[in-house]
Amino acid sequence: MARTRRLLDNYGPGKIGLSFELFPPKTPEGETDLFQNLRELVAFGPSFITCTYGAGGSTRDKTLDIAGRVKREFGLPVASHLTCVGATADDLRQYLREARDRDIDYIVALRGDPPKGEEAFRVTEGGYAYACELVGLLRAEFPEFDVAVAGYPEMHPEAVSLDADIDNLKRKIDCGADIVITQLFYSNARFLEFRDRCAGAGINAPIVPGLLPVTNLTQVKRITSMCGAHLPEEFQARLEASEGQPQEQFEIGVEHASRQVEELVREGTPGVHFYVLNKSRAAARILGQMSLPESAR
């Protein structure tokens, strides 16, 4: 089957590619809740929906189930995330065949984090050490999938330097990835500097900012400590001043994320990827109160 590069069509002059990222719920109630929330988000015309792949392959089948169900119910392009953790190249091939059978459109190709309780990523015998190798497998044997890879505006925590990390990103694009979706960030200045450095390094693929609207301080502290995202001082101070007032914190988080989106669009970013965490409330508020350029749906 020939490569379509449909993923790239979501981004381009005058368009904003909008995508939402879900995770596989653990319970039937969680799944019902997810689809109710997604119904509201689909009204904003996303270009595609992605579903994460649990640490160490823990959600393998559920990731495919959810992505497949989103495709059937909403008729939207879907992406499955896939990591190399605990998998041989043949395991990855098997997953990709199943994804093909379920009519999944795109793959978000990742190395993955070490499984719980382990300090460092360990290469599985017969598996891959880096995401670029998974991209290579996709390009060589599964040309029907378009491919997104992860980028880190504030550097991947294991990288020796931002430049080395950008070299890695370039390698993933050179291996055949189509777009970059970034780790979440709260400082647009850091993202824009990263974008410029990527351009300087010869990365021409669309770099789509990943945003997670913060809706409470406890959540943001946990998340930023995990991924190393920097919280601008003023934003943090406002959240701290409203501790114990959940509605107030929600409003502050929504306001910050809305300003981020507006500025990013002004700065010419090709799209926005929302980490919605299976909930519509924050993203719907942000998107409901702004007029984005035409989405590429």
Q: Is 150 in the site for ligand FAD (CB under 6 A)?
A: yes
Residues 6+ apart with CB under 8 A from 56: 85, 86, 112, 115, 116
- Are 106 and 176 in contact, with CB atoms under 8 Å apart? no
Comparison of 131 and 252: residue with beta carbon closer to ligand FAD: 131
User: Minimum distance between the CB of residue 93 and ligand FAD, rounded to whole angstroms?
Assistant: 18
- Are 136 and 176 in contact, with CB atoms under 8 Å apart? yes
Which residues inside 125-144 make contact with ligand FAD, applying CB under 6 A? 130-131
Among 67, 108, 137, 231, binds ligand FAD (CB under 6 A): 108
Q: Name the one residue in this structure whose structure tokens are 């409470």.
A: 216
Locate 93 and state its tokens: 């091939």
The Cα 168–Cα 1 span in angstroms is 28
Q: Is 112 in the site for ligand FAD (CB under 6 A)?
A: yes
Site string for ligand FAD, 190-229 (x = CB under 6 A): --------------------x-------------------
Locate 256 and state its tokens: 């910050």
User: Minimum distance between the CB of residue 258 and ligand FAD, rounded to whole angstroms?
Assistant: 21
- Are 138 and 96 in contact, with CB atoms under 8 Å apart? yes
Residue type for position 121? F
Comparison of 163 and 240: residue with beta carbon closer to ligand FAD: 163
The Cα 49–Cα 3 span in angstroms is 20
What is the length of the chain? Answer: 297
Q: Is 81 in the site for ligand FAD (CB under 6 A)?
A: yes
Among 110, 220, 265, 286, binds ligand FAD (CB under 6 A): 110
The Cα 282–Cα 275 span in angstroms is 10
Query: At what angle are helices 89-101 and 60-74 packed, to 10 degrees?
Result: 20
Comparison of 219 and 242: residue with beta carbon closer to ligand FAD: 219
CA distances to 22, 48, 70, 75, 277 from 274, in Å: 9, 11, 16, 19, 9
- Is 158 a known active-site residue? no
The Cα 53–Cα 170 span in angstroms is 23
User: Minimum distance between the CB of residue 88 and ligand FAD, rounded to whole angstroms?
Assistant: 17
Among 159, 162, 192, 292, binds ligand FAD (CB under 6 A): 159
Stretch that binds ligand FAD, among 70-78, 97-105, 156-164, 240-248 (CB under 6 A): 156-164
User: Minimum distance between the CB of residue 226 and ligand FAD, rounded to whole angstroms?
Assistant: 10
Locate 82 and state its tokens: 């896939």
Stretch that binds ligand FAD, among 151-159, 250-258, 264-272, 278-286 (CB under 6 A): 151-159
Site string for ligand FAD, 27-66 (x = CB under 6 A): -------------------------xx-x-----------
The residues annotated with a catalytic role in the active site are 21
Residues that bind ligand FAD (CB under 6 A): 52-53, 55, 81, 83, 108, 110-113, 130-131, 150, 156, 158-159, 164-165, 168, 172, 181, 183, 210
